Amino acid sequence: METNDNIMIKEYEILYHDIKEIKIKNLGEKTLDKLKKYGITRLIDFLYHFPRTYEDRSNYKKIRDLLNNEYISIKGEVIEAKVIRTRTYKSMFKIVVSDGYGTIEAVWFKMPYLVNTIKVGMEVLLNGTVKKEYIYKMVNPGYQIIEDNGDINLSIIPVYTLPQSISQTIYIKIIKQVIEYYIESLHEIFPIEFIDKFNLPSRIETIKKIHFPEKLDEVYNYKRRIATEEIFILEMGILQKRFEYESINSVLYNLEDKKNLVKKYLESLKFELTRAQKKVISEIYNDLNSGKISNRLIQGDVGSGKTVVAIILLLYMIDNGYQGVLMAPTEILAEQHFLGNMDIFNNLGIKIEILTGSVKGKKRKQILDELEQGVINLIIGTHALIEDNVKFKKLGLVVIDEQHKFGVEQRKKLREKGIISNIAVMSATPIPRSLALSIYGDLDVSIIDELPPNRKDIKTKWINSENLKEKMFNFLKTKLEEGRQIYFVTPLIEETETGKWYSTEDVYNMISEKGFGKYNIGILHGKMKSEEKDAIMTNFKKHKLDILISTTVIEVGVDVPNAAIMVIIDSNKFGLSQLHQLRGRVGRGEHQSYCFLVTNTTNEVSIERMKIMEKTNDGFKIAEEDLKLRKSGEIFGKKQSGISDIKYVDVVRDIKLIKNVRDEVINYLKKTKGVVENPILKIEITEKFNKDKENNNE
C-alpha cells in the first residue's frame, strides 16, 4: 500500500528524470542536445529556466502610426510572401503584413526556408526596428505565428536565453507542454505558516506565472518567491547540519550572566550606545546566555562603532570567568586596540596583553605562559595568535576585527583553541566573501545599521585635471595651516606592466615640489619593520607629523581624529569598497573632513566609481554599487564560495530577506528538533547539496 507521501515523492522524482524518457512535441533529440549545453536536461530544469525578459504585446500600435527607427511589435495578416533574389544574387524572404490600417514589409536575408513557415493568410507578430522610407519596413525582425488554436495568443510573451538555433516560438511551445503536463507534480516545499508569514504565492502558481504572466507587474512577486525558495533550501541544508552537530555536542555552558564589568565600562564611555549597537549586543547576549555556540558576523559601516561592541562582549565573557581574544589584521591596528583599551582595562582590574609577530623572546614566553595559566584575561593581537604554541586556560570568545583579511582556515584554527568556540567576526564592508561565509559557512549575521549621532558627511571630490590638482594643493595648505593633518594614500605595489604607479617616494617628491617641504612628512609602507611603522604611526597620532604618506597598510581601522583630509593618488586602482574603507580613516573627529580622489582615468567603470564615491557615504550602498559594477562571476569564484547554485538571490540586495528566512528556518528546526518533515524539501536539499559537492570536487 502506498502512502500519500510515497505517491507524492514518485510524482516529484519524475521532474528529476532525464527528459529523454518523456514525450514532448517539438522536443527531439537534436533540440535536447542543444539545450543540454545550457544545463537543461530534466523537467525541473525547464520549469526553472525562467524568461530573461518579456515582451508586452498587449497594446499593438497601428502600422500607419509607426515612427522611423522605432523598436516595436506589431500584429497583422500576411498578404504576400515570397523568396526573391537581390541584385547580388543572395536570397531574401519577403512578406507584406497588413493590420487593416496600413502595411509593412518584412525581409529576412539568407533564410529562404521561411517560405515554408510563414504563409499568406497567417496572422503574425513581428518585432524589430521599423524603417520608414517610402514604405514601412523591417529587416530580420523576430516573428511569431499566431495559430488558430490560440497557442501563442499571449499578450505578454516570455523571452528566453536559448541556443541560437532554437526559436523562441518553438521553445515556448515546449515549455507550455511541460507546464501543462507536469506542473501538478511540483509539490510545495514551504510549511504553510511560512507561506502565510511571507505572503507568498504557491509554488505551482509561481512557476506558471513566471513563464506566462498576465501582467508584467506581477512578475516581481513571483521572483521574490523564487529568491525566498533558494534561501530557504540553502539555509535548511546548512542549519539542519548545525542542529545535528549541536545536538551531538551538547556539552554546553552556563553563564552566571554577570554584567558588572560591562556596566562599569559603559559608565566610563563618553557616549551612549546607539540603538543599533544595543541591538547587536543583545542578539549576541542571547546566544551566549542560552548556552548556545555563538557564531556571528557583525557588519557595520566604517565608524559605526564595532570596536565598542566587541569590547563589551569580551568584557561580558571575562566577567563570567572566561578569557577573550581580539584579533586584528595588522600590527598597527592591534596596537591601536591595545593602547586604546589598556587604561580602562587596568582600572577594571583586568589583565590585558598584546601579542604580535614582533613580540619576542622573554616577553613572548611570559605572555604564552600567562595565557595558558589563565592570568591574562584579554589578549589582543594579530595572526600571531593562531600559532600552535598559543594555548589558553579557558578561552570563551574570539572576536576577529575586519575579517576579510582572514581566511576560513585561520578562523577555524582559532576557534579550536577555545573551550567553547564562540566567535564574532566584524566586517566593515558587506563584501561578498563574508556574505558568502554567512550563507555557506555557519555564521549568523548581525547588522549595525546606524552611525553614532552628529557624524558629518565626508566631502568627496574627484580630481581629474591639473587645474583641479593645483586648487587641491592650495586647499591642503590652508588646512595644514589650520592645524589639520593629511593622509596621502597610494596604491604602490611593485613596478607593474601597466603604466606608472606612484610609490610613496614618488608622492613624497611630488608634494615636496609643490611646496610641502616645510611640513613634517612621514612615510609608511608594508615592507617596513613593525617598530618603524609603530614609531611613524605614533608620531602621526601625536601630531608630530603633519602628513602621512602611506600605502594601504592604513586601510583598516586606524583612528586619528585630527587627520581630516585624505588624498588618494591613482584612485582608479582601488575598488569601491576599498576606497570607502580608506576614506573611513577621516571623518572621525569634530572637523569637517575631505577626501580627494586623484585620477584622470577615462575608463568608464573607474569613472562610475569616482562618481559613486562623490555621491554617497553609505557603505552598504557602496557595496551594492560595487556588485553592480562587477560581474557576479567575479564575485563568486565557484571554488571559493560554493555558491554556484544561488541564481536568483542577490546577496547584497536581499540581505534582509536572507536574515528573515534564516530566522524562520531556525524556528522551524527548533520545533522539529532538526528534522525536515516535508519529503519534497528533503529531495531539494539533497539535490542542492550533492550538486555543490560535485562542484567543489572539480
Query: What residues make contact with ligand ADP under the rule CB under 6 A?
Result: 271-274, 277, 300, 302-308, 428, 452, 557, 559, 588
Q: Is 430 in the site for Mg ion (CB under 5 A)?
A: no
Nearer to ligand ADP by C-beta: 144 or 307? 307
Shortest distance (Å) from residue 580 CB to ligand ADP: 11
Nearest to 211 by CA among 163, 162, 164, 159: 159
Cβ 347 to ligand ADP shortest distance, Å = 17
Tell me how far apart the alpha carbons of residues 450 and 665 are, in angstroms, rounded to a whole number.
27
Q: Which C-beta is closer to ligand ADP: that of 127 or that of 581?
A: 581
CB burial string 353-390: b at 16+ within 10 A, e below:
bbbbebbeeeebeebbebbeeeebbbbbbbbbbbeeeb
438 contacts 332 by C-beta, under 8 angstroms: no
Pair type for strands 123-132 and 142-146: antiparallel
CB of 310 closer than 8 Å to CB of 424: yes
The residue at minimum Cβ distance from ligand ADP is: 305
Contacts with 314 (C-beta within 8 Å, 6 or more apart), sequence order: 324, 326, 378, 397, 399
CA–CA separation, 100 and 103 (whole Å): 8
Cα-based torsion angle of the residue sequence 12, 14, 17, 23 in order, rounded to the nearest 10 degrees: -150
Interacting stretch for Mg ion, rule CB under 5 A, among 84-92, 104-112, 512-520, 549-557? 549-557
Distance of closest approach, residue 558 Cβ to ligand ADP, in angstroms: 9
By beta-carbon proximity to ligand ADP, the closer residue of 210 and 576 is 576
The full DSSP string for 248-266 is HS----------HHHHHHH
Q: Is 557 in the site for Mg ion (CB under 5 A)?
A: yes
- Tell whether residue 418 is a contact of Mg ion (CB under 5 A): no
Reduce the DSSP state of residue 683 to 3 states and report it.
helix
Q: Are 598 and 461 in contact (CB under 8 A)?
A: no
State yes or no: residue 303 binds Mg ion (CB under 5 A). Answer: no
Site for Mg ion in 223-252 (CB under 5 A): none
Question: Residue 220 binds which one of Mg ion, ligand ADP, none, with CB within 5 to 8 A depending on kind?
Answer: none
Contact characters 504-543, Mg ion, x per CB under 5 A = ----------------------------------------
Nearest approach, Cβ of residue 273 and ligand ADP (Å): 5
State the pairing for strand pair 378-381/395-401. unpaired
Q: Closest CB to Mg ion among 100 and 340? A: 340
Which triple of cell numbers denotes residue 380? Answer: 589582543
- Applying CB under 5 A, the site for Mg ion has a residue count of 1
Judged by CB, which is closer to ligand ADP: 344, or 676?
344
Report in angstroms how near the CB of residue 511 gets to ligand ADP at its nearest.
28
Nearer to ligand ADP, 295 or 403 (CB): 403
* Total residue count of the chain as it appears in this document: 698
**Closer Cβ to Mg ion, 396 or 557, answer by number:** 557
> Cβ of residue 276: shortest distance to Mg ion, in angstroms?
15
Nearest distance, CB of residue 402 and ligand ADP, angstroms: 8
Could you count the other beta carbons within 10 Å of the beta carbon of residue 35?
21
Judge contact between 202 and 58, C-beta under 8 A: no
- Rule CB under 5 A: say whether 305 interacts with Mg ion: no
CB hemisphere CA count around 49 (13 angstroms): 21
Give min distance, CB of 306 to Mg ion, in A. 5
User: What's the closest the beta carbon of residue 452 comes to ligand ADP, in angstroms?
Assistant: 3
Residue 104 or 622: the one with the smaller Cβ distance to Mg ion is: 622
Q: How many angstroms separate the CA atoms of 377 and 383, rounded? A: 18
Closer of 306 and 484 to Mg ion (Cβ): 306
Measure Cα distances from 134 to 68, 137, 576 in Å: 11, 9, 52
Q: What is the C-alpha end-to-end distance of the chain, expressed in Å?
A: 42
Residue 559 interacts with, from Mg ion, ligand ADP, none (CB under 5-8 Å by kind): ligand ADP
Q: Binds 159, which of Mg ion, ligand ADP, none (CB < 5 to 8 A, cut-off by type)?
A: none
Of residues 157 and 308, the one with the C-beta less far from ligand ADP: 308
Residue with smallest beta-carbon separation from Mg ion: 557
Q: Which stretch binds Mg ion (CB under 5 A): 311-319, 458-466, 524-532, 553-561?
A: 553-561
Q: How many CB atoms lie within 10 A of CB 678?
A: 17
Q: In the complex, what is the shortest distance from the CB of residue 382 to Mg ion, in angstroms, rounded to a whole number?
A: 14
Describe the strand order of the beta sheet including 444-448 as a list of residue ranges. Answer: 352-355, 378-381, 323-327, 395-401, 422-427, 295-300, 444-448
User: Which option in Mg ion, ligand ADP, none does residue 51 bind, with CB closer than 5 to 8 A by kind?
Assistant: none
CB of 464 to Mg ion, least distance (A): 31
What is the nearest approach in angstroms of ligand ADP to the Cβ of residue 454?
Answer: 8
633 half-sphere exposure, CB direction, 13 A CA radius:
0
Q: Which does 533 bind (CB under 5 to 8 A by kind): Mg ion, ligand ADP, none?
A: none
User: Which one of Mg ion, ligand ADP, none is in contact with 9 (Cβ closer than 5 to 8 A by kind)?
Assistant: none
269 Cβ contact partners less than 8 Å away, ≥ 6 residues apart: 308
Spell out a b/e string for 65-79, using b for 16 or more CB atoms within 10 Å of the CB, else e: ebeeeeebbbbbbbe
Nearer to ligand ADP, 79 or 269 (CB): 269
Out of Mg ion, ligand ADP, none, which partner does residue 303 contact, by CB within 5 to 8 A per kind? ligand ADP
Site for Mg ion, rule CB under 5 A? 557
